[in-house]
Structure 1
Amino acid sequence: MDITSELNGLQRSVHQVRADGIEGIGLLLRREYQAAAEDVWKALTDPAMLRRWFLPVSGELEPGGTFQLEGNAAGSILKCEAPALLRLTFGSPTSVVEIRLAEHGSHTALEFEHTVDLETAGSGAGALFVGPGWDLALVALGLFLAGRFTGDPSEWENSREVREASRQSIDAWAAAAEASGTATAEEIEQGVAVATAQFAEDAGAGN
């Protein structure tokens, strides 16, 4: 599968946010899927499907409930309005993920927004710490919906092909942070270094 072309289907931006008196940084991803909104929603919220392209999840998966992703973040479900809106905390109360779906004929437009308080993010370059990982998740979701995702998600994510393609994702998020005016050149350079170590450094050692 051509991960590079899949990454080209993503639109990225970085912006400042202020909510409940807290300043923060938000990253926004947009992508269209050739699937009904109900199918995309099910892939995002059904534990049996989620584990096939992302991670196993446990908990009370309903508004007011909590969840735990295996080997990853835990959080609380703030809103769950099928098949259009999912809002949850991710790792901490000031780290919030919101997913919005809108069906247009045979396509569904997805907006994925992750906001983090400014103290944690540091600057808009903080988008580089998580943006490439979310890129891969949305690519995996698209491949799954198209029936092209097989195997273990963690092995796929750490494969040589994916980690090499992650360099493209890192460059794109660096450009988005620069365009936003929310980070200095030095902060972006540091963010690129962190992202490279996390998502692409071992590109030559994968499957």
Structure 2
Amino acid sequence: MSDIVDEINAIHREVGRRTVADGEARTVLLRRTYDAAVGDVWDACTDAARVSRWFLPVTGDLTLGGHYQLEGNAGGEILRCEPPKLLRVSWVMGESPAFSEVEVRLTAESAERTVCELEHAAVVPPEMWDRFGPGAVGVGWDLMLLGLGRHLQGDSIDPAQALAWQESDEARTFMTRSSDAWGEAYATSGAPKDVAAAAARATTAFYAPPKPQ
């Protein structure tokens, strides 16, 4: 349990908004420090073979202006690529035309320590935001940063093992605590506490529904 708490506490979370061409985008920002050189973290986030070992298999033209596709997940265009410090991509699920971008920013804190910031900005349907708040995507990004951290520590993650882990009590605890943490970040951003708490409960029910009796 202490490991899960440490993993949750290792991430700083912020919730905000900004104006984009399509209207108002909601933003979630995650910040975490890894005990790894900035070049290693960059390579883990941009090399297709490595990405598939801690996140999802990825295909496409992984160069500036090229398009990528994560297996069973999002795809999009590589909008900015400035090794080893900045990567920005569009983040499209299915045929949705709405604005959605993810930016990863890396800063070398020392020779073997890197600060990783991930910001996801998207125009979200009001009914979805009202129900789930930032946790709808925030929990997924927490899981992603967890996987990246374990990869950087040398853990080998088999896709079948990853799927099995998501059904484990440890994973359910992680997702529940992640959902609660996003609820707290939502309240800190100015949302009424009861609204933030209700969104966290809905997010938990989605990611970690009660087990069948």
User: Which of the five TM-score ranges fits, normalised by the shorter chain?
Assistant: 0.7 to 0.9
Unaligned runs of 5+ in 2: none
User: Deviation of residue 190 (structure 1)?
Assistant: 4.5
Q: Select 2:199's aligned residue among 179, 182, 191.
A: 191
Counterpart Cα distance in 1 of 2:102 and 2:137: 12
Counterpart Cα distance in 1 of 2:80 and 2:9: 30
Partner of 2:178: 169
User: Deviation of residue 31 (structure 1)?
Assistant: 0.4
Preserved CA contact (<8 Å) 1:41 1:82 = yes
Matched, 1:134 2:135: no
Partner of 2:72: 71
Unaligned runs of 5+ in 1: none
> In 2 relative to 1, CA 201–123 (structure 1 residues): closer, same or farther, beyond 3 Å?
closer
Give the partner amino acid of 1:199: Y
Counterpart Cα distance in 2 of 1:98 and 1:16: 15
Partner of 1:147: 154
Partner of 1:97: 102
Counterpart Cα distance in 1 of 2:22 and 2:69: 28
User: Deviation of residue 17 (structure 1)?
Assistant: 1.1
Larger mean CA deviation between 40-49 and 119-128 belongs to 119-128
Q: TM-score, normalised by structure 2?
A: 0.86
User: Deviation of residue 45 (structure 1)?
Assistant: 1.0
Q: How many residues align?
A: 203
Partner of 1:117: 123
> In 2 relative to 1, CA 4–148 (structure 1 residues): closer, same or farther, beyond 3 Å?
farther
User: Deviation of residue 116 (structure 1)?
Assistant: 1.0
Preserved CA contact (<8 Å) 1:95 1:117 = yes
Counterpart Cα distance in 1 of 2:65 and 2:8: 33
User: Deviation of residue 13 (structure 1)?
Assistant: 0.7
Cα-to-partner distance string for 1:142-171 (whole Å, 9 max, x where unaligned) = 111011353333333333211222111100
Query: How much identity, in percent, do the aligned residues show?
Result: 41
> In 2 relative to 1, CA 188–139 (structure 1 residues): closer, same or farther, beyond 3 Å?
same
Partner of 1:157: 166
SS of 2:56's equivalent in the other structure is: coil
Larger mean CA deviation between 32-41 and 155-164 belongs to 155-164
SS of 2:183's equivalent in the other structure is: helix
Counterpart Cα distance in 2 of 1:9 and 1:185: 23
Give the partner amino acid of 2:9: N
Counterpart Cα distance in 1 of 2:22 and 2:56: 33
Preserved CA contact (<8 Å) 1:79 1:88 = yes
Preserved CA contact (<8 Å) 1:125 1:174 = no
Counterpart Cα distance in 2 of 1:76 and 1:115: 15
Preserved CA contact (<8 Å) 1:25 1:123 = no
Counterpart Cα distance in 2 of 1:75 and 1:168: 30
Cα-to-partner distance string for 1:57-83 (whole Å, 9 max, x where unaligned) = 111111111111111111111111111
Q: TM-score, normalised by structure 1?
A: 0.88
